[in-house]
A = this chain, B = another copy of it.
Amino acid sequence: MVKITDVARRAGVSPSTVSYVLSGKRTISAETRQRVEESIRELGYRPHAGARALASSRSNVLALVMPLRPGVHVPVQMQFAAAVATKARAHDHDVLLVTQEEGEEGLRRVANSALVDGLIVMDVQMQDARIPLLRALGLPSVLIGFPARADELTCIDLDFTATGERCVDHLAELGHRCVALLGSPPEVYARGTGFAQRTAAGFTSAARRRGMASTVVPVEPGRDAARRTVERLLREQPALSALVVHNEPALGALVEAFQRAGMAVPEELSVVAVCPDEVAENAAVPVSSVSIPAVEVGEGAVELLMAKLADRDVPDATLLPPRLTLRASTAPHRAPAKPRYAPAHARDGSECLTAP
């Protein structure tokens, strides 16, 4: 293995000079720098990572804590990981893969052994056991998602509140007056998963602001449950003309259910989803959607972490603006030509309930 003293000897300088050429932490004359750089190239020298970490107390590695069991949409996770790895390399850092399953012990391990300089933690829950640990660890970290108490922690995610609002705004501009949000399964709300609640809040407040009738409907997992929910909803709210769907596993089932219930999309029912582009594109009708900006989140997380490592100040919360991609599932509102489930004389909008 070629080491720094070899380079130094060949260039006729001392090892420290080589080090300074590499790090740029002291001024080096142009001639010397050139000679050193040439020696480095000719010998193919690379600093020994361990020695460097020992001496500088910087490993130039950051940990990516990732849920590796299926759960979140996998291609999105992958995009995210790719973005993190690529951006980290652009900052001359490497990425250590840590599985969610290692839990708190895993964090402690990589942090206390000085294996990594910082942490990027994905899939943060509202009540996350790792939060207090992250505070105590003393290593810079960036969280993907927002826990209940985020003070002193740096978090980044899609702005779900704005996302809910954006969906409603789009539908409102198309003339819809009565909308519903088909959301996550009830236990997701109960578990306190932040993004579900925030989407619902944005949805509801935007609808109220625009004087629209709105309901939030949790959807149980499973095709059958999705179908039953849709049928009940269309029966109970005949004036409903547009839906926001924030439940990616059920999206496909839901779109099929609308059609089976005799509702043409988008002619009779407009649908806008919050889901990965991939899912939106492959539904029976390509769905207008706000997607999870995995790449931007990943890159943003790395940038934030790098800033913290450089002792620069960073905002506690970074909310990425939603971007709505229009596809084939939304159209201007028009009064239904034929009665749906309810008798024709009731078609004045009063059957469209407002959320409690």
Q: Which residues of A contact B (CB under 8 A)?
A: 1, 44, 46-54, 59, 61, 64, 68-70, 74-75, 77-78, 81-82, 85-86, 89, 94-99, 101-102, 108-110, 112-115
Contact = CB atoms under 8 A, between A and B. Distances in A.
A54 B59 contact: no
Nearest to A89: B102
Contacts of A94: 96-98, 110, 115
B81 A97 contact: yes
Most chain-B Cβ atoms within 10 A of its Cβ — which of A46, A50, A69, A75? A50
A59 B110 CA distance: 13
A78 B86 contact: no
Nearest to A48: B114
Given A68-B78, A94-B97, 10 more contacts: A49-B59, A50-B114, A54-B54, A68-B81, A70-B78, A74-B74, A78-B78, A86-B101, A89-B99, A94-B98
29 contacts: A1-B112, A1-B114, A44-B112, A46-B112, A48-B113, A49-B50, A49-B113, A50-B53, A50-B59, A50-B114, A51-B54, A54-B54, A61-B96, A61-B115, A64-B97, A70-B75, A74-B74, A74-B75, A74-B78, A75-B75, A77-B78, A78-B78, A81-B97, A85-B97, A94-B96, A94-B97, A94-B110, A96-B97, A97-B97
Contact of A48 (B54, B64, B101): B54
Contact of A99 (B49, B59, B61, B85): B85
A109 B52 contact: no
A82 B70 CA distance: 10
A101 B48 CA distance: 23
Nearest to A112: B46
A77 B79 CA distance: 12
Contact of A82 (B50, B51, B69, B115): B69
Contacts of A89: 99, 102
Contacts of A1: 112, 114
Contacts of A98: 85, 94
Contacts of A46: 108-109, 112-113
A85 B51 CA distance: 25
A46 B115 CA distance: 11
A49 B97 contact: no
Contacts of A99: 82, 85-86, 89
Nearest to A109: B46
Contacts of A61: 96, 115
Contacts of A109: 46
A192 B119 CA distance: 41
A113 B47 contact: yes
A6 to B, nearest CB: 13
Contacts of A114: 1, 48-50
Contacts of A54: 48, 50-51, 54
Contacts of A97: 64, 81, 85, 94-97
A74 B50 CA distance: 33
A18 to B, nearest CB: 15
A281 B86 CA distance: 33
